Copies of this chain bind each other. A is one copy, B any other.
Amino acid sequence: MNKNAAIGIFDSGVGGLTVMAEIIKALPCEEMIYFGDLARTPYGSKSKETVVKFSCEIVQFLISQGVKAIVVACNTASASALEELRQKFSLPIIGVILPGAQKAAEVTQTKRIGVIATRSTIATGAYVKAIQSHDPQIHVISQPCPLFVPLVEEGWLNHVVTKEIAKEYLFSLKANKIDTIILGCTHYPFLRSVIQDIMGNEVTLINSAEETARVTKEILFCAGLLCTMSQDKRHRFYVSDEGSRFIELGEQFLKEKIRIITQIDLGKGNPYV
């Protein structure tokens, strides 16, 4: 494996760019290739079988682009497809669930952790399983927050309505006296201040994206795959549908310009799948 190859990263849409932003922060020398499956986004409401199929197609494409490792920057795909991807492909594949779960299990004092995520991520039970495999004594309270993604995409980050909705969603976590909460969806770090206000400063917020970046660095280091050339980075972006809104929202998520973007068709007749 070429240590100066790019890292592949994918999500159903634009959300994974928050994970990419953290990886760029942790690994500024690495080049990255991002795939956003805009034609089939979101994955949150789809079956495991379908999410596995879509994820395999994307990983196959990223491998054809010569990547050295893959970050599954999508909670749904990490919860549903990671095992199948690791069985099928031999390069390092890192998901977003285990890093956040591990960190939360380490920092909790009261052994009461809250997890907020989309309905489908919660339904897989992946966070509960991951946390309890670390420490079976930990009590996990899960809360789906299906309106958070549309609120973030609407740009209502500090809107009074967003605070009302957050209060309602977080009520059971407050009542259950958790001391740590995992932001289990790529969009949720944008609501960090609203969530922190409601939960209070004594509750630790775990950003899965940050933890995933930390773990990615560790895994590449241990595999001898960290980039050794301080080349001019040219991150590349591939999308499966027209990308103008992806660029607009994505540059906010990524906090840098999206320059090289290509639309490809992963369906019928695609040479990569």
In the complex, how many angstroms separate the beta carbon of A109 from the nearest chain B beta carbon?
A: 33
Closest to A246 in B: B45
Given contacts A45-B41, A267-B267, A267-B268, contact A242 B50 (CB under 8 A): yes
A46 and B146 contacting across the interface, CB-CB below 8 Å: no
Interface residues of A in 130-146 (CB under 8 A from B): 146
Q: Which residues of B contact A150 (CB under 8 A)?
A: 146-147, 149-150
A161 and B165 contacting across the interface, CB-CB below 8 Å: yes
Q: Is A49 an interface residue (CB 8 A)?
A: yes
B45 and A50 contacting across the interface, CB-CB below 8 Å: no
Complex alpha-carbon distance, A172 and B206, angstroms: 39
A241 and B165 contacting across the interface, CB-CB below 8 Å: no
Interface residues of A in 5-62 (CB under 8 A from B): 38-41, 45-47, 49-50
Q: Is A229 an interface residue (CB 8 A)?
A: no
Q: Which residues of B contact A149 (CB under 8 A)?
A: 150
The tally of residues in A whose CB lies under 8 Å from a CB in B reads 26
Q: Is A175 an interface residue (CB 8 A)?
A: no
Interface residues of A in 50-98 (CB under 8 A from B): 50
Q: Which residues of B contact A245 (CB under 8 A)?
A: 45
Q: Which residues of B contact A197 (CB under 8 A)?
A: none
A154 and B161 contacting across the interface, CB-CB below 8 Å: no
Closest to A14 in B: B45
Q: Is A106 an interface residue (CB 8 A)?
A: no
Choose among B160, B161, B241, B268 the residue that contacts A46 (Cβ–Cβ < 8 A): B241
Q: Is A202 an interface residue (CB 8 A)?
A: no
Tell me which of A46, A149, A168 has the highest count of chain B C-beta atoms within 10 A of its own C-beta. A46
B46 and A50 contacting across the interface, CB-CB below 8 Å: no
Q: Which residues of B contact A38 (CB under 8 A)?
A: 45-46
Complex alpha-carbon distance, A38 and B54, angstroms: 13
Q: Is A198 an interface residue (CB 8 A)?
A: no
Complex alpha-carbon distance, A49 and B242, angstroms: 8
Complex alpha-carbon distance, A166 and B49, angstroms: 37
Interface residues of A in 160-207 (CB under 8 A from B): 160-161, 164-165, 168
Interface residues of A in 222-273 (CB under 8 A from B): 241-242, 245, 267-268
Q: Which residues of B contact A241 (CB under 8 A)?
A: 46-47, 50
Q: Which residues of B contact A168 (CB under 8 A)?
A: 161
Choose among B46, B50, B147 the residue that contacts A147 (Cβ–Cβ < 8 A): B147
Complex alpha-carbon distance, A38 and B50, angstroms: 10
In the complex, how many angstroms separate the beta carbon of A65 from the nearest chain B beta carbon?
A: 21
